Chains A and B, each alone.
Chain A
């Protein structure tokens, strides 16, 4: 394997690691926040004005930060948590922080879009607020949440390339260091093509996942028991 090929593979792996872990942390953080926003919103099922406004403001502020600025702002946090502000691991922190509010909002929106009639039916059958959220709203919103997460992953691939510019590693870094600074156009093109392929693959898998969830609702599997 040529050193360049090795470098490309190495960088691809770094991008995959960055995007995977930042998506994971963003979902772990953003999904519960989205549920919280939905439940406590003034028109939600258990309004709590002050906590809602607080979280909502933080989410909006983080969302309106340009990513480059966010990254620089996050340097101190990365230093505290990881002891360094550069490298693949360090980049995961600003990427997660950038994506979590996004996931929170799209979760909130997806929950808000669940048909009110369906909720009324669940309430009429005696479901508590907690049961309505867990047994009805989240499953009903799942296809839409999956589409949103797919979009987030694609955005993160773009951001991770940007993160490369300030020492994050990955394909963006490779494209800039070799392709741009050392005039290796072939490396630049390779990096960009791999990023495009990644985006296509994620979009395909995301669409498939959302379609599968919709096609096989709860109760599709297992044999149908014949009870006499």
Chain B
């Protein structure tokens, strides 16, 4: 699906203050791309994602899916549209009152699928994420990476054409982050799917995304193809994010060197 945002604005007013979390953001990405939206904590990423995923309505501006305006849809149509939208989250947000399989079944129950079709789809999705043997597992018994796999299976079960990921790998260790990103890329390659990933880690953008938008204080400061942005970053914030990866990579390198010096075998992946 092709996602287009036009002049989005969103202000949150609380008793104490009013914060403009999204300021005149316009973005337009090609169909079926993996898009990264990177920004520091509090930059407005989650707010932007809630607008783009129709969880909230913008104060001003428009959201288009495949050229059709979808902000301010009537309730009924909005809930129907939701089946075309998948979402995964930093904290997984799985239902602890349901097994892994029943979590995946949930959106299908909402969509009114019959039992047979639900069972079949649940198996198919759990197999896709490599958890076919965990259908009856309570969520509490799964590791972080397994939880995010279940969340991905649940999000994609009703065959959405866009997947929003809010810091989906931020609660995971680097190795598991890698596995989840690989899984998302694999799924993306085999499906008609646009993926929008929000993150504060430039590694995620580098390893998984084709396009990137850098946002700061509610505004887009830089956008483009990932290769271009990495080759010639224009904005200072972007450069800061890039230098952060270099620094963490240097520290990984030095850790590996340290281990090797001390007689451990380290395989570089």
Contacts and interface: CB of A to CB of B under 8 A. Distances in A.
A220 B138 contact: yes
Nearest to B116: A227
Interface stretch (B7-15, B91-99, B241-249, B261-269): B91-99
B110 A131 contact: yes
Interface residues of B, number: 37
B111 interface: yes
Contacts, number: 89
Contacts of B80: 126
Interface in A122-138: 122-128, 131, 135-136
A225 B101 CA distance: 11
A94 to B, nearest CB: 35
A214 interface: yes
| B95, B96, B107, B123: most-surrounded residue (chain A CB, <10 A) | B95
A120 B106 contact: no
A213 to B, nearest CB: 8
Given A124-B85, A224-B136, A217 B110 contact: no
A117 interface: yes
Given A117-B91, A117-B93, A142-B97, A135 B106 contact: yes
20 contacts: A115-B91, A117-B91, A117-B93, A118-B93, A120-B55, A120-B89, A120-B93, A121-B87, A124-B53, A126-B81, A126-B83, A126-B111, A128-B79, A139-B98, A140-B95, A216-B138, A217-B95, A217-B138, A219-B102, A220-B136
Interface of A: 115, 117-118, 120-128, 131, 135-136, 139-140, 142, 214-220, 224-227
